[in-house]
């Protein structure tokens, strides 16, 4: 078993869902995201929501666990926050950007989704650095 703080990893996964709930809500980016993704109101609300949220939590848990393993337990708060912001922007958002370029997806969609993942991993850094 990896030497990670499992409570911190669990908090990271929960924070990812909470952040997504705010980020993709009508308060912030729900409508611009929906337009940029080309989804109608019906499409945005369709599907098995229990499965979607359940799998989202599992994937967030995996991302948090692997990021915690990457950081290790010797990272302080500030370096962990910097690593999280870098991972979100330079690994996740940049990788999304490559795919979006070839898929001819709009810049708005990249900014919204890349911004979410940058904040997600920054938040992971805050939690893991604080709880190391």
Mean pLDDT in consecutive groups of 10 residues from the start of the chain, 132 residues? 89 98 97 96 91 97 97 91 98 98 98 98 97 89
Write out the residue range of the structural domain in which residue 97 sits.
6-130
Q: Is residue 58 part of a domain?
A: yes
Decide if 1 is inside a domain.
no
Q: Are 117 and 88 in contact (CB under 8 A)?
A: yes
pTM: 0.94
Count: domains in the chain: 1
70 occurs within a structural domain: yes
Residue 73 lies in a domain: yes
Cα separations (Å) of 60 from 40, 43, 84, 119? Answer: 26, 23, 14, 13
């Amino acid at each position: 078993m990896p030497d990670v703080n499992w409570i911190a990893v669990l908090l990271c996964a929960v924070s990812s869902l909470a952040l997504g709930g705010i980020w993709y809500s009508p308060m912030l980016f729900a409508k611009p995201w929906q337009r940029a993704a080309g989804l109608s109101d019906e499409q945005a609300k369709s599907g098995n929501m229990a499965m979607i949220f359940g799998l989202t939590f599992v994937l967030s848990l995996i991302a948090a666990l692997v990021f915690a393993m990457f950081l290790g337990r010797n990272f302080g708060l500030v370096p962990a926050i910097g690593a999280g912001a870098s991972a979100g922007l330079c690994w996740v958002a940049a990788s999304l950007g490559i795919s979006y370029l070839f898929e001819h997806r709009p810049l708005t969609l990249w900014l919204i989704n890349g911004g979410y993942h940058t904040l997600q991993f920054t938040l992971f850094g805050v939690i893991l650095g604080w709880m190391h």
